[in-house]
Amino acid sequence: MKCPYCGHQEDRVLDSRSTKEGESIKRRRECLECGARFNTFEEIEERRLQVIKKDESREPFDRGKILRGMITACEKRPVSVEDLEQAVDEIEKHFRNQPTREVRSSDIGEMVIERLRQLDQVAFVRFASVYWQFEDVQQFREIVDRMAARKRLRRQPSSAEG
């Protein structure tokens, strides 16, 4: 490793520590020429996730884009940015754990919709209206009716209880 102070190519490792839940290693080094100490980080080089868009074009996975969409859907709603960041973390982790490095934008959208459904129903409807390209009020009515029916089903006691 090249010393950032004198440029010498030889050093010794003084200490190594695992960071980022074991996904990288931080090494404390000392230059054998000038004695300066510096840190280096070693990480696994991951193949980048590619998103396959509706038109079959590809672009790099951008977690910021997902988070911005979710923040917009949750504007003026009682949902914390931390909850949204956690949801995006889970979505990203899900796709990174797949054997393929390509993911369809529709698969990402469906996961975002499901997470918003769990976090806030108004945000869910807002996002769904854009994502599913609602064209009239009837489509809003249908989705709200389905949500209400689902809620009623969850509230009904089972026949074993009654």
What tens digit of pLDDT does each residue of 137-159 get? 888 788 888 877 777 776 766 55
For residues 18 and 39, state if they share a domain.
Answer: yes
pLDDT in tens, 66-102: 999 999 999 999 999 999 999 999 999 999 898 899 9
For residues 85 and 133, state if they share a domain.
Answer: yes
Let me know if residue 2 belongs to a domain: no
For residues 100 and 125, state if they share a domain.
Answer: yes
**Range(s) of the domain holding residue 25:** 11-43
Q: State the Cα–Cα distance between residues 149 and 34, nearest whole angstrom.
A: 73
For residues 118 and 134, state if they share a domain.
Answer: yes
For residues 107 and 88, state if they share a domain.
Answer: yes
pLDDT of residue 158: 56
For residues 127 and 67, state if they share a domain.
Answer: yes
Asked whether the whole model's pTM tops 0.85, one would answer no
Antiparallel, parallel or unpaired: β 50-52 and 24-31: unpaired
For residues 89 and 65, state if they share a domain.
Answer: yes
For residues 70 and 129, state if they share a domain.
Answer: yes
Q: What is the DSSP string of 101-153?
A: SEEEHHHHHHHHHHHHHHH-HHHHHHHHHHHTT--SHHHHHHHHHHHHHHHHH
Into how many domains does the chain fold? 2
Q: Is 25 left (phi over 0), alpha (psi -120 to 50) or beta?
A: beta
pLDDT in tens, 14-58: 999 998 778 789 999 999 999 999 999 998 777 789 999 999 999
